Amino acid sequence: MTYYIDQLQPGMSASLAKTVTEADIVLFAGISTDVNPAHLDEEYSKTTMFGGRIAHGMLSAGFISAVLANQLPGPGTIYLSQTLKFKAPVRPGDTVRATVTVKEVLAAKNRVVLDTVCTVGGNVVIEGECMMMPPKRPA
């Protein structure tokens, strides 16, 4: 389903959950070229403040994009901006729940501001805010 500007209102929310796999981390490293050993090298990452490997923060943040594109507002959505605060690590095997909630509808500009959050087991791992442009209703 696609939501148009006149159908969106503060408080509307959608989410998805995805378990981060070893393959996700390796593929994201290849696509992004971010080969930081904190993500890929278990021995190295044991010496870090995390005590083990962590997933790329932007991998988890990408799940926010998936909610916007697939659910709220849905297909045709254009992502305009995003703030992110990384609060806790995501580890291989963690299930990340990305949730977006409409905060403000700017109908005259066809823009929507949403609160964005990713959690693992109820703990916030990423929080932020985005602005997006929902698709225009077909003529």
Read off the tokens for 81. Answer: 């901006």
Is 96 a domain residue?
Answer: yes
Total domains in the fold of the chain: 1
Is 139 a domain residue?
Answer: no
Is 26 a domain residue?
Answer: yes
What pTM value is reported for the model? 0.93
CA-angle at 104, arms to 101 and 105, nearest 5°: 110
Is 138 a domain residue?
Answer: no
> Does the pLDDT at position 138 exceed 90?
no
What CATH number is associated with residue 125? 3.10.129.10
Range of the domain at 60: 5-133
Is 115 a domain residue?
Answer: yes
Is 80 a domain residue?
Answer: yes
Reported as a pLDDT band with limits 50, 70 and 90, residue 139 is confident
pLDDT, residue 71, reads 96
Torsion of CA 5, 17, 57, 87, to 10 degrees: 90
pLDDT averaged over every residue in the chain: 96
Q: For 84-101, how does the pLDDT look when each residue is reduced to its tens digit (9 = 90+)? A: 999 999 999 999 999 999
Mean pLDDT on 4-17: 97
72, burial (CB in 10 Å: exposed 0-12, middle 13-18, buried 19+): buried
> Does the pLDDT at position 13 exceed 90?
yes
Reported as a pLDDT band with limits 50, 70 and 90, residue 109 is very high
The CA distance from 22 to 113, in Å, is 33
The set of long-range contacts for 36-40, using a CB threshold of 8 Å and a minimum separation of 24, is none
Cα Rg of the chain, angstroms: 17
